[in-house]
């Protein structure tokens, strides 16, 4: 009987990785070889068994490189070597595959990983991150498709650093920072569809080459990039905190933004939004609006006021389904605030549960 654990086998040869080219129904994509862990079987025993069944070889386990949850299973990834040097089977199958699934093994160049459909996507992004060379590539911001936001990791592989960073707080229930970031970008996209016309007009304004809307999406994608370097475990409870992650993230962004074709003012806007995105949370602390605080906030950040409001609204939307009971009153207060200013019904924020 299978458990809810799975193992995957990572075998490298020179600059290539061995993958399975899978055809399932009418879809074609790549996965790493591996499979489910049996009852009374250790993870390493499962790796050795799966390698023999699927690849026809005996492997030497070098190390476990990563583990994460994926669709209800805990997936464990092991870097392995071909111990005997036997040739890996050309046509892969272990007898447990359904008739409508066909796998064929392929050595895929590390440079090509970013161009193929490799599932789950998180392992693709972690691999791209591990292969990243020191020299920076140059991209056009227009290359990032914010409708398919996870592919942004091809351009900013540093986002994958937060896949294994988990937050526990009033707002996050053991949530990956990476997942929260993706959900916030998705929420922003839906919010912008529904905002008042005057705010849409504001976002359409071009700064240098790009609109404020495009820059806001980039800032949202990077807004929590500093959490990996700042997360701490609180001593008195199981919760975590990321002090000063906004400042650290804005400094990291300076380096990351160099790879995009942004003008000086565009870079300054993105950095400023990242650095100050937490300020609106301070204004909205509690359950009653402090009008003086809001006025001071608006005056201080008049040049990026709507960007901070929209990012705050997206952040709230992304955390609406993970907020603890003790944070519900403040959550509802924030939702009403954003609803009134953006012209979006409160029900939108409560029902828009973004899931990966």
Average pLDDT per 10 consecutive residues for the chain, totaling 356 residues: 87 92 89 93 95 89 92 92 74 50 86 92 91 71 84 86 94 93 95 97 97 97 97 88 97 94 97 98 94 97 98 95 92 96 89 54
Asked if residue 120 and residue 260 are part of one domain, the reply reads no
Residues 82, 64: Cα–Cα separation, whole Å: 16
Residues 343, 318: Cα–Cα separation, whole Å: 18
List residues bridging with 103 in a β-sheet.
22, 92
Element (H, E) at 161: none
Q: Which domain holds residue 37?
A: 2-131
Q: How many CB atoms lie within 10 A of CB 305?
A: 15
Asked if residue 79 and residue 156 are part of one domain, the reply reads no
Answering whether pTM is above 0.85, one says: yes
Does 337 map to a domain? yes
Residue 154: what pLDDT? 80
Please list, in sequence order, all residues whose beta carbon lies within 8 angstroms of the beta carbon of residue 85, skipping any fewer than 6 positions away.
none
Asked if residue 242 and residue 320 are part of one domain, the reply reads yes
Element (H, E) at 6: strand 2-13
Does 206 map to a domain? yes
Among 106, 131, 156, give the residue marking a domain's end. 131
Residue 56: what pLDDT? 87
In this structure, what CATH number is given to the domain that contains residue 18?
3.90.79.10
Residues 208, 15: Cα–Cα separation, whole Å: 40
Asked if residue 68 and residue 160 are part of one domain, the reply reads no
Asked if residue 280 and residue 306 are part of one domain, the reply reads yes
Does 251 map to a domain? yes
Please list, in sequence order, all residues whose beta carbon lies within 8 angstroms of the beta carbon of residue 312, skipping any fewer than 6 positions away.
277, 280, 281, 284, 334, 338
Residue 88: what pLDDT? 74
Residue 355: what pLDDT? 44
Does 208 map to a domain? yes
Closest to 119 (Cα-Cα) out of 94, 95, 143, 150: 150
Does 199 map to a domain? yes
Does 89 map to a domain? yes
Number of domains in the chain: 2
Does 136 map to a domain? no
Asked if residue 285 and residue 240 are part of one domain, the reply reads yes
Residue 330: what pLDDT? 95
Asked if residue 302 and residue 330 are part of one domain, the reply reads yes
Asked if residue 210 and residue 248 are part of one domain, the reply reads yes
Asked if residue 225 and residue 174 are part of one domain, the reply reads yes
Asked if residue 150 and residue 64 are part of one domain, the reply reads no
Does 211 map to a domain? yes
Among 131, 151, 184, give the residue marking a domain's end. 131
Among 131, 150, 168, give the residue marking a domain's end. 131
> For residue 164, which phi and psi values (nearest 5 degrees)?
-100, 15
Asked if residue 190 and residue 168 are part of one domain, the reply reads yes
Residues 175, 330: Cα–Cα separation, whole Å: 20
Asked if residue 126 and residue 156 are part of one domain, the reply reads no
């Amino acid at each position: 009987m299978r458990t809810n654990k799975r193992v995957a086998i990572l075998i490298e040869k020179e600059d290539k990785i061995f993958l399975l080219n899978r055809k399932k129904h009418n879809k074609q994509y790549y996965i790493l070889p591996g499979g489910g862990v049996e009852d009374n079987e250790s993870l390493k025993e499962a790796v050795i068994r799966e390698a023999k069944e699927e690849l026809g070889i005996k492997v030497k386990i070098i190390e476990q490189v990563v583990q994460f949850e994926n669709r209800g299973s805990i997936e464990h990834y092991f870097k392995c070597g071909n111990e005997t040097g036997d040739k890996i089977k050309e046509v892969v199958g272990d007898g447990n595959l359904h008739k409508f699934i066909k796998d064929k093994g392929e050595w895929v160049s590390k440079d090509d990983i970013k161009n193929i459909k490799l599932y789950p996507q998180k392992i693709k992004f972690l691999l791209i991150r591990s292969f990243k060379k020191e020299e920076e590539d140059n991209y056009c911001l227009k290359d990032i498709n914010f409708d398919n936001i996870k592919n942004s990791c091809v351009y900013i592989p540093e986002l994958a650093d937060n896949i294994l960073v988990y937050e526990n707080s009033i707002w996050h229930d053991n949530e990956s920072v990476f997942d929260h970031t993706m959900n916030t970008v998705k929420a922003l996209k839906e919010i912008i569809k529904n905002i008042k016309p005057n705010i849409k007009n504001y976002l359409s304004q071009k700064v240098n080459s790009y609109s404020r809307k495009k820059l806001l999406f980039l800032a949202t994608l990077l807004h929590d990039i500093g959490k990996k370097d700042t997360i701490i475990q609180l001593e008195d409870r199981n919760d975590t905190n990321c002090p000063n992650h906004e400042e650290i993230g804005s400094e990291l962004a300076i380096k990351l933004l160099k790879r995009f074709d942004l003008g000086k003012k565009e870079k300054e806007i993105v950095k400023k939004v990242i650095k100050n995105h937490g300020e609106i949370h301070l204004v909205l602390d509690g359950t009653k609006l402090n009008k003086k605080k809001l006025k001071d906030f608006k005056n201080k950040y008049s040049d990026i006021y709507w960007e901070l409001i929209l990012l705050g609204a997206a952040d709230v939307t992304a955390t609406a389904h993970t907020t603890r009971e003790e944070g519900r009153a403040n959550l509802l207060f924030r939702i009403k605030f954003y609803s009134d200013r953006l012209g979006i019904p409160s029900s939108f924020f409560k029902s828009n549960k973004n899931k990966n």
